[in-house]
Copies of this chain bind each other. A is one copy, B any other.
Amino acid sequence: MGRPPGNKPTSFDIAYLAGVSQPTVSRALRGSRSVSRATRERIEAIARDLNYSVDKNASSLRSQRSNTIALLFFEDPTPDESNINPFFLAMLGAITRQCGARGLDLLISFQKMEDDWHVRYQDSHRADGLILLGYGDYTLYQRRLTELVDHGTHFVRWGSVGADTIGPTVGSDNVGAGRLAGDHLLGLGRRRIAFLGQADEHYPEFADRYAGLCDAMAGQGIAPDPALQVDALTAEDAGHAAARTLIGRGVSFDAIFAASDLIAIGAMRALAEAGLTVPGNVAIVGFDDIPAASLTTPPLTTIMQDMKGAGQLLVDTLVAQVEDQPLPPGTLPARLVIRRSTGG
């Protein structure tokens, strides 16, 4: 109140009013041990009074720390509009909150793979580190990731956590999740379980999920049948097409484990068109628990990933790395959400 608006108060103004030097103000507001409690409180009061707030640019410039992280989504197709993957959007929420909790600012950007992020974000001191979220062919990213590692860029990636992973990575326990789905379906007496999703080195997360399913089947002495696996990427029409392919093969199956909810939804449409009932003829399990999953008929049984945990783990891992105390790669357990698409 005691100040002409227009020119914002600086730490010098506070210092003058408090009868101390500018550095003391800085120390006081950052909670340094070397300023007495009385002085600190006086300074804090004045600062509050003037509606003072530390200039972020000056602070970051001097301390070489921006307390900001950049979240980079990259998707290879969709060159044009919106239609962000709903799963990542949920992740965005979790990351945002964790950043808030840790007092970090969050920059976000959608990228094509070609752009050079490190230059734009880390080298220019916009952000202390990067979080990389992206679907798409993993093998296409490998070179980029290697570059980032070589360049010494601080980053964390969401993806399949394995031995050959490039750069710090955290992700869900996809193998465990696949096992979860498999056990559930097996527990319902299903024996011929199909997998819809591209399960190779291009899509390691899908591959992990499939591996988990096979694992569960192996537990019951069932060998995986290649005829029951059909490639499909994340989208709804891919699921539809894959299910038609499966049906067209003429092999018998009584359950489907889809690598994503959208695939599952597309598959359900194809099953309906083929006159197959869910869960009567075919039980079906999806992955991700997107909002739409509970709105389908019948509602979709699916695997829910731990979003909140994911946000925390990503941010914490990144911060640890920025502070030069790298955390080991972490993996998060997933949970089965049972709905009517698997009977019950």
Query: Interface residues, chain A, CB within 8 Å of chain B?
Result: 5, 8, 51, 53-58, 60-61, 66, 68, 81-84, 86, 89-90, 92-94, 96-97, 100, 105-110, 119-120, 123-126, 152, 236, 265, 291-292, 295-297, 307-308
Shortest beta-carbon distance from A312 to chain B in Å: 12
* Pick from B5, B56, B100: contact of A124, CB under 8 Å: B56
Contacts of A55 in B (CB 8 A): 61, 124-125
Contacts of A291 in B (CB 8 A): 83, 86, 292
Name A111's closest neighbour in chain B (CB-CB). Answer: B100
Contacts of A110 in B (CB 8 A): 93, 96-97, 100
Given the contacts A57-B61, A61-B57, A84-B93, A126 and B105 also touching, CB distance less than 8 Å:
yes
Residue contact A126 to B96, C-beta cutoff 8 Å = no
Most chain B Cβ neighbours within 10 Å, of A60, A66, A126, A295: A295
A233 to B51, CA, bound (A): 37
Q: How many copies make up the complex?
A: 2
Shortest beta-carbon distance from A72 to chain B in Å: 11
Residue contact A56 to B126, C-beta cutoff 8 Å = yes
10 A-B pairs in the complex with CB atoms less than 8 angstroms apart = A51-B119, A53-B119, A55-B125, A57-B58, A58-B61, A81-B93, A89-B92, A96-B108, A106-B109, A292-B292
A123 to B51, CA, bound (A): 9
A182 to B306, CA, bound (A): 42
Contacts of A236 in B (CB 8 A): 295
Contacts of A68 in B (CB 8 A): 107
Given the contacts A53-B124, A66-B57, A125-B55, A96 and B119 also touching, CB distance less than 8 Å:
no
A109 to B69, CA, bound (A): 12
Contacts of A66 in B (CB 8 A): 57
Given the contacts A58-B61, A123-B53, A265-B295, A107 and B106 also touching, CB distance less than 8 Å:
yes
Residue contact A120 to B295, C-beta cutoff 8 Å = no
Shortest beta-carbon distance from A209 to chain B in Å: 22
Contacts of A90 in B (CB 8 A): 82-84
Contacts of A123 in B (CB 8 A): 8, 51, 53
Name A105's closest neighbour in chain B (CB-CB). Answer: B107
A96 to B56, CA, bound (A): 22
Contacts of A51 in B (CB 8 A): 119, 123
Name A295's closest neighbour in chain B (CB-CB). Answer: B292
Residue contact B106 to A108, C-beta cutoff 8 Å = yes
Residue contact B93 to A53, C-beta cutoff 8 Å = no
Residue contact B120 to A109, C-beta cutoff 8 Å = no
* 9 closest Cβ pairs, A-B complex: A82-B93, A57-B61, A292-B292, A57-B60, A53-B124, A53-B123, A56-B124, A56-B126, A89-B89
A53 to B116, CA, bound (A): 11
A86 to B97, CA, bound (A): 17
Contacts of A120 in B (CB 8 A): 53
Shortest beta-carbon distance from A123 to chain B in Å: 5
Contacts of A105 in B (CB 8 A): 107, 109, 126
Name A307's closest neighbour in chain B (CB-CB). Answer: B82
A125 to B109, CA, bound (A): 20
Shortest beta-carbon distance from A239 to chain B in Å: 12
Shortest beta-carbon distance from A134 to chain B in Å: 15
Given the contacts A100-B110, A292-B291, A308-B81, A125 and B94 also touching, CB distance less than 8 Å:
no
